[in-house]
Amino acid sequence: MIKNYIENANFEDTGFHYTLSLISGKYKMIILYCLMEFAPVRFNDMRRYIKTISDKTLSANLKELEADGLINRREYPQIPPKVEYRLTERGKSLMAVLDQLCVWGEMNRQ
């Protein structure tokens, strides 16, 4: 299937490229997987789950995932502010792909 993409289209016009553009980067797949396991997740909890991420990087990745329609951000009108993140239906549909990456990794770990 990938061979057909390469032969018949510009790489940037493929579904493969589009999918990679949504999940590329060091943390996006980890954030999505975290939301699948623990949703809803608050910002500080997410930061605790992903120990190596800075606030700035986490915030930027969450904004990108929200703009791409993969997660929802829900803000509660209270003091102190409370914000929760969840997968959208579109984000949930991507979990089958990420789950297969995990299965492949477990089967091929050296």
Residue 2: what pLDDT? 56
The larger pLDDT score, comparing residue 75 to residue 2, is at: 75
User: Which residue's structure tokens are 């396991």?
Assistant: 37
Percent of the chain whose pLDDT exceeds 90: 70
Contacts of 62 (CB under 8 A, 6+ apart): 31, 43, 46, 71, 73, 85
CA–CA gap between residue 47 and residue 57 (Å, rounded)? 10
Query: Are β-strands 82-87 and 71-76 bridged in parallel, bridged antiparallel, or unpaired?
Result: antiparallel
Q: Per-residue b/e over 84-104, b at no fewer than 16 CB within 10 Å?
A: bbebbeebeebeeebeeeeee
Residue 43: what pLDDT? 94
Please identify, in words, the CATH class of the domain defined by 26-108. Answer: mainly alpha
Helix (H) or strand (E) segment spanning residue 42: strand 41-42
Q: What is the pLDDT of residues 44-53, one digit of tens each?
A: 999 999 999 9
User: Which residue's structure tokens are 């190596």?
Assistant: 52
| 33-39 average pLDDT score | 93
pTM of this structure: 0.83
